[in-house]
């Protein structure tokens, strides 16, 4: 695997990333867990997810897959997408971003 250093961070990041958009829908949990294992075995350490991917299910599955090896990966997630009906359930206000981030961190077990 080829890696690059992310500027201003010192993070060594794989040139390839892996996306989890289908986790919890087209890709069931057992297959998703095996896919993450294969990615890590191949040296991929950059994994992309989002709070709205299957209403947080993708983040939850990813959190399970990374149990005990979270330090091996660099995670990217997103905010803004609607996760509920309340005023801070979507958008980019400071309160909405904070709420989305805290919920993502909880689902990711990190």
pLDDT at 82: 73
**Is 3 part of the annotated catalytic residue set?**
no
Using an 8 Å Cβ cutoff, are 81 and 50 in contact? yes
Delimit the domains of the chain by residue range. 3-107
Q: Which of 51, 53, 90, 96 is catalytic?
A: 53
In degrees and rounded to multiples of 5, residue 41 shows phi and psi of -60, -35
Q: Using one digit for the tens of pLDDT, what is the confidence trace for 79-88? A: 887 777 777 7
Residue percentage of the chain with pLDDT more than 70: 99
pTM, two decimal places: 0.89
pLDDT at 22: 96
- CA 59 to CA 63: how far, in whole Å? 6
- CA 21 to CA 50: how far, in whole Å? 8
Q: Using one digit for the tens of pLDDT, what is the confidence trace for 15-59? A: 999 999 999 999 999 999 999 999 999 999 999 999 989 899 999
CATH topology of domain 3-107: TIM Barrel (3.20.20)
């Amino acid at each position: 695997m080829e890696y690059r250093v992310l500027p201003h961070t010192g993070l060594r990041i794989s040139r390839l990333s892996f996306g989890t958009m289908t986790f919890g829908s087209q890709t069931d949990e057992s297959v998703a867990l095996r896919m993450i294992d294969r990615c890590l075995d191949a040296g991929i350490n950059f994994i992309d997810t989002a709070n709205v991917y299957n209403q947080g299910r993708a983040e939850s599955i990813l959190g399970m897959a990374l149990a005990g090896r979270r330090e091996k990966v660099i995670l990217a997630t997103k905010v803004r997408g609607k996760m509920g009906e309340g005023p801070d359930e979507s958008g980019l206000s400071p309160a909405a971003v904070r709420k989305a981030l805290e919920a993502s961190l909880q689902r990711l077990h990190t």
